[in-house]
Amino acid sequence: MIDKEFDKIFALMKASFPTSERRNYAGQKELLAEPYYRLITEINSNNQVIAFMAVWEFPSFRFIEHIAVDPNTRGSGIGGKLMASYMRESSKPILLEVEYPDTDLAQRRIAFYERLGFQLNPFDYLQPPLQEGETYLPLKIMSYPRILTEEEFTHQKEILYTNVYKVTEQPS
């Protein structure tokens, strides 16, 4: 990946996610060397990155860590098209994290994913910190095409903690 393209993706990530939900520049760039990590971009006619997805493709499932659309392009359907395309190419279950549905914005995000076919799982989940000084973040897991069993959830959470977040111990 060209550094200039990564810089554009990171700028969009920084504009779209709070510090607690993303890594710093160096930490994010290091992920490019991870075997399961992949960046998918949507480029406009001016060759500008207008949307991206950061995904992890494990042997038994896929995990969408980030999806963002340029603020000037939001509401145009690009995010939904990017997600739908990714879902069509996958024969494996797909997971993603969402905030608890206790704000209007969080409820709208969850509804967006539900319209695509994702299901909100009932299990408690804590996202490990992505940056120094941050704490565990209570989130929910959504999955496609169906709700996970508790056994599947536990197994996939362990893979996420080990590979995505690099933590070996789970909080109690």
Which residues on adjacent β-strands are paired with residue 52?
Answer: 41, 68
Task: Give the residue-averaged pLDDT of 58-84.
Answer: 94
| pLDDT tens, residue by residue, 15-52 | 999 898 999 999 999 999 999 999 999 999 998 899 99
Is 120 in a helix, a strand, or coil? Answer: strand
Task: Name the token pair of 113.
Answer: 């994913």
> Dihedrals φ, ψ of 51, to 5°?
-165, 155
Task: Give the residue-averaged pLDDT of 47-60.
Answer: 95
pLDDT tier for residue 142 given thresholds of 50, 70 and 90: very high
Predicted local distance difference test score (pLDDT) of residue 2: 65
Query: Tokens 């060759």 correspond to what residue?
Result: 47
Cα first-last separation, the chain: 39
Is 155 in a helix, a strand, or coil? Answer: helix
Task: Name the token pair of 84.
Answer: 């739908």
DSSP of 34-100, one letter per residue? -TTEEEEEEE-TTS-EEEEEEEEE-SS-EEEEEEEE-TTTTTSSHHHHHHHHHHHT--S-EEEEE--
Predicted local distance difference test score (pLDDT) of residue 167: 92
- C-alpha Rg value of the chain to the nearest Å: 16
Contacts of 46 (CB under 8 A, 6+ apart): none
| pLDDT tens, residue by residue, 91-130 | 999 999 999 999 999 999 999 999 999 999 999 999 999 9
Predicted TM-score of the model (pTM): 0.93
Contact 73, 51 (CB under 8 A): yes
